[in-house]
Amino acid sequence: MKTIPSFSITLLDWFEENQRALPWRSENDPYKIWVSEVILQQTRVNQGWNYYLSFIERFPDVKALADATLLDVLMMWQGLGYYSRARNMHSTAQQIMKDYHGHFPNNYLEIRKLKGIGYYTAAAISSIAFHLPYPALDGNVLRVISRIFGIYENILLQKTVKNISQLCVRLMDKKKPGLFNQALMEFGAIQCTPKNPKCEICPFDLQCIALREEHIHLLPLKFLNSNLKVRFFHYFIFLKENKTIIEQRTENDIWKYLYQFPMIETETACENPLKSLNTISIQFENEQPVFLKEIKHKLTHQLLNIRFYVFKDFFSEIKSSWITISVKELDNYPLPVVIKNIVKYIE
């Protein structure tokens, strides 16, 4: 595959003129680069900006994050979603304190050994913090390279990603690998966007194969094989004298270790969840919940159909895993965003 001799120079010139003033932009601390990259994995920049600033203020270094409780970390992460990121970061910080004496490892292979850090994040940290020539391939980069160089291969295949990675190594300014990676990611984020890219002012308009062949809308090619899993959640909100009941999710599933109202999952939408609500109390047969609200919540590979019901009383006996708290105390627990929104609704 042919390269463009002046690609890196053109890209870095564009970056100097067009880069956004982001709070982590000039950072060379591997810890802070790591935090920013993890936040941005599944979060838009405008949403992640304040989360990043708050997170760094609360946990300014690896030791502060390692010494914190998981509850504290999850509280700071509320609303960002994909909570496994927060759990992995907390675990990794403790791993760094134990295995690396509190110093972030300074080479790619060691960074890859850290929990929750994949090829992309390791490459970003390695190149930006330690000036190592590893290309950071996120969705923006895969799109840009596919379009400019006319790569008509499925970018969800490892073979395609490997080929693009090798091409990026050849294109990269080896003296400025971190700057090159940031520039390429930024180019995809604000110039060569998924929809309505700014082709009319693109510095690569004469070299871009997708533009020349009028295939901007077609590239990059994606063939997703995974099926969407549909689930049915039924939440029961118990209210009595400004008190309610919550439980912690401990299964190896979404929202692990976060708190929620007591919940029953059914196989179908029409299945009666009350049959599975095990409360030991004879009052249950007489007390019927009031339907409150139904919402749909989309995750990466799951569609959650969620119904909320209200019980205006407590049972004489409840599950041992249930926790009775005041409604105001809900703010002290990390909650999935769907639960947090309902809390505002019932208040």
Q: Which residues are catalytic?
A: 37
Torsion angle, CA of 61/67/68/74, rounded to 10 degrees?
70
Burial class (CB in 10 A: 0-12, 13-18, 19+), 183: buried
CA distances to 157, 162, 336 from 248, in Å: 37, 41, 11
The single residue listed with the structure tokens 């179908």 is: 268
Alpha-carbon distance of 234 to 222, in angstroms, equals: 35
CA distances to 57, 129, 196 from 32, in Å: 11, 10, 32
- Which tokens belong to 20? 């956004």
Alpha-carbon distance of 295 to 288, in angstroms, equals: 21
Task: Write the DSSP symbol of residue 228.
Answer: P
Alpha-carbon distance of 146 to 201, in angstroms, equals: 19
Report yes or no: 96 and 114 within 8 Å, Cβ to Cβ.
yes
Cβ within 8 Å of residue 345, ≥6 positions away:
292, 293
The single residue listed with the structure tokens 């290309």 is: 135
Alpha-carbon distance of 42 to 48, in angstroms, equals: 9
